Amino acid sequence: MVTVNKNYLKLPGSYLFSTIAKKVAAYQEANPDVQIVRLGIGDVTQPLAPAIINALHKSVDEMANAETFHGYAPDLGYEFLRSAIAKNDYEARGCDIHADEIFVSDGAKSDSGNIQEIFGIENKVAVCDPVYPVYVDTNVMAGRTGAYNTKRENFDGVIYMPCLEENGFLPEFPTETPDLIYLCFPNNPSGAAITKDKLQEWVDYANKNGAVIIYDAAYEAYITEENVPHSIYECEGARTCAIELRSFSKNAGFTGVRLGFTVVPKDLIREGVALHDLWARRHGTKFNGAPYIVQRAGEAVYSPEGKAQLKEQVAYYMKNAHTIYNGLKEAGYSVSGGVNAPYIWLKTPNNMSSWDFFDYLLENAHVVGTPGSGFGAHGEGFFRLTAFGSYENTQEALRRIKAL
Ligand code: PLP
């Protein structure tokens, strides 16, 4: 008889966003006339920029002719895209990263979930708390953690680094030394950003301890402040301790198109093995390349027109972020995030639990957000609103919240 991977059974049943969807659907059914404004899920709403649409049309047409047709893409991505990434995302920022250290993929969710495979099962994992759930859940599935601890509401065997108001929502070095450190800045869910000096401390810490940082920079396009790094490779020594994950989802609206990449510098060596080689082996074995059409669309992100159009798109969402941030402040809430990120993190009023506030907001303002506790035990008492709605809906949501 076949056995199942029992690590999966350690995962608590219901997934945050399906619970939210069920609650909202039940409320809408009971109140069919109510106009609900959704500022919950981190999905974009603006259409793809014209430069990207043009690139998609052009590459679709290429697929219609034998001479210009493209089959399997190279495992690690087309040279045209990897060079554009190296030049624009790294060289232009003074980072020593080369095209052959970039692995094109179908997005940062897959990469952030899969990257743990190239590491030994005995490695100690450290994550921020609250956290994007994929980092923890995929390590649970792999068997790198203990059981779910219902009292602490997190997993045994994982090092959680509380990110709270008192530490500016930034992690502190844990008492137990970790091997794998997941950092995500600008942060989902808190919207917190890390300065270059602070990130340098993490790079130095990882190099000193032989740890590896998995740096998720999916939201780098939303950075507005000068002292906030767009890449971990802006820090000295990051080539020997960091892997960086990037996505086209939030900077270019590719959530439904699917494209991302991972950077593994060739100097990143552990136990005498280049992690670049392991990830190349993994990618080559389990992934057959992002579609040609999509990689051409990705290339257009770096064209002059693409850059100009996407700057406007990001600015549109950031206008929403400011609307939410300022509106909540005016209404007397304690708020953070929203300056270098499309997420606003608010403290629930009157010590309400995150889920109580979710119900309160749904029932009284007909606004949907995300309970902070869904991102980890230390997210309790907080709530996330996203800037990815339309400007009109965002304004309406804030009008209602202020009227409460
Ligand atoms: N990483 C973080 C921190 C995210 O918040 C998300 C999506 O919300 C992703 C990765 C997933 O990105 P992608 O759409 O590229 O899979």
Q: Is the pLDDT of residue 14 over 80?
A: no
Diameter of the chain measured on Cα atoms: 66
Measured CA angle at 232 (ends 226, 235), to 5 deg: 75
Q: Give residue 11 CA to ligand 1 midpoint distance, Å.
A: 20
pLDDT given for residue 17 in this prediction: 86
Are 109 and 262 contacting, i.e. CB atoms less than 8 angstroms apart?
A: no
Q: Is the pLDDT of residue 15 over 80?
A: no
pLDDT given for residue 31 in this prediction: 97
Per-residue pLDDT tens for 357-383? 999 999 999 999 999 999 999 999 999
pLDDT given for residue 41 in this prediction: 84
As a dihedral over the C-alpha atoms of residue 87, residue 92, residue 98, residue 104, rounded to 10 degrees, the angle is -60
Q: Which atom belonging to ligand 1 lies closest to the Cα atom of 107? A: 15
Which CATH number is 53-303's, of 1.10.101.10, 3.40.50.300, 2.130.10.10, 3.40.640.10?
A: 3.40.640.10
Q: Give residue 132 CA to ligand 1 midpoint distance, Å.
A: 8
In CATH, what number does 6-47+305-403 get?
3.90.1150.10
343 assigned binding-site residue: no
247 assigned binding-site residue: yes
246 assigned binding-site residue: no
Q: Which of 109, 182, 194, 245 to mutate to test the pocket of ligand 1 (most atoms within 8 A of CB)?
A: 109
Q: Which of 104, 106, 115, 132 to mutate to test the pocket of ligand 1 (most atoms within 8 A of CB)?
A: 132
254 assigned binding-site residue: no
* Protein residue closest via CA to atom 5 of ligand 1: 188
pLDDT band at 109 (very low <50, low <70, confident <90, very high): very high
Q: Give percent above pLDDT 90 in the chain.
A: 97
Taking CA atoms, 318 is separated from 51, 88, 220, 232, 325, in Å, by 21, 22, 13, 23, 10
Q: Give residue 108 CA to ligand 1 midpoint distance, Å.
A: 5
* Protein residue closest via CA to atom 8 of ligand 1: 42
Q: Is the pLDDT of residue 147 over 80?
A: yes
- The residue extents of the domains of the chain are 6-47+305-403, 53-303
As a dihedral over the C-alpha atoms of residue 151, residue 154, residue 160, residue 165, rounded to 10 degrees, the angle is -70
Q: Which atom belonging to ligand 1 lies closest to the Cα atom of 249? A: 14
18 assigned binding-site residue: no
Per-residue pLDDT tens for 25-51? 999 999 999 999 999 988 999 999 999
pLDDT band at 349 (very low <50, low <70, confident <90, very high): very high
**HEC string of the chain?**
CCCCCHHHHHCCCCCHHHHHHHHHHHHHHHCCCCCCEECCCCCCCCCCCHHHHHHHHHHHHHCCCCCCCCCCCCCCCCHHHHHHHHHHHHHHHCCCCCHHHEEEECCHHHHHHHHHHHCCCCCCEEEEECCCCHHHHHHHHHCCCCCEECCCCEECCEEEEECCHHHCCCCCCCCCCCCEEEEECCCCCCCCCCCHHHHHHHHHHHHHHCCEEEEECCCHHHCCCCCCCCCHHHCCCHHHCEEEEEECHHHHCCCCCCCEEEECCCCCEECCEEHHHHHHHHHHHHCCCCCHHHHHHHHHHCCHHHHHHHHHHHHHHHHHHHHHHHHHHHCCCCEEECCCCCEEEEECHHHCCHHHHHHHHHHHCCEECEEHHHHCHHHCCEEEEECCCCHHHHHHHHHHHHHC
Query: For 65-70, what is the mean pLDDT?
Result: 98
Could you tell me the pTM of the whole model?
A: 0.97
ipTM of the complex: 0.99
pLDDT given for residue 323 in this prediction: 98
Q: Which atom belonging to ligand 1 lies closest to the Cα atom of 259? A: 15
384 assigned binding-site residue: yes
Q: Is the pLDDT of residue 16 over 90?
A: no
Residue carrying the six token digits 């590491």 = 119
Q: Give residue 107 CA to ligand 1 midpoint distance, Å.
A: 7
What residues are in contact with ligand 1 under a 6 Å CB criterion? 42, 107-109, 112, 132, 184, 188, 216, 218, 247, 249, 255, 260
* Mean pLDDT value across the chain: 97
Q: Is the pLDDT of residue 13 over 80?
A: no
Are 161 and 174 contacting, i.e. CB atoms less than 8 angstroms apart?
A: yes
Per-residue pLDDT tens for 178-209? 999 999 999 999 999 999 999 999 999 999 99
Q: Give residue 137 CA to ligand 1 midpoint distance, Å.
A: 14
Q: Give residue 217 CA to ligand 1 midpoint distance, Å.
A: 9
Q: Give residue 16 CA to ligand 1 midpoint distance, Å.
A: 15
Q: Which atom belonging to ligand 1 lies closest to the Cα atom of 250? A: 14
pLDDT band at 254 (very low <50, low <70, confident <90, very high): very high
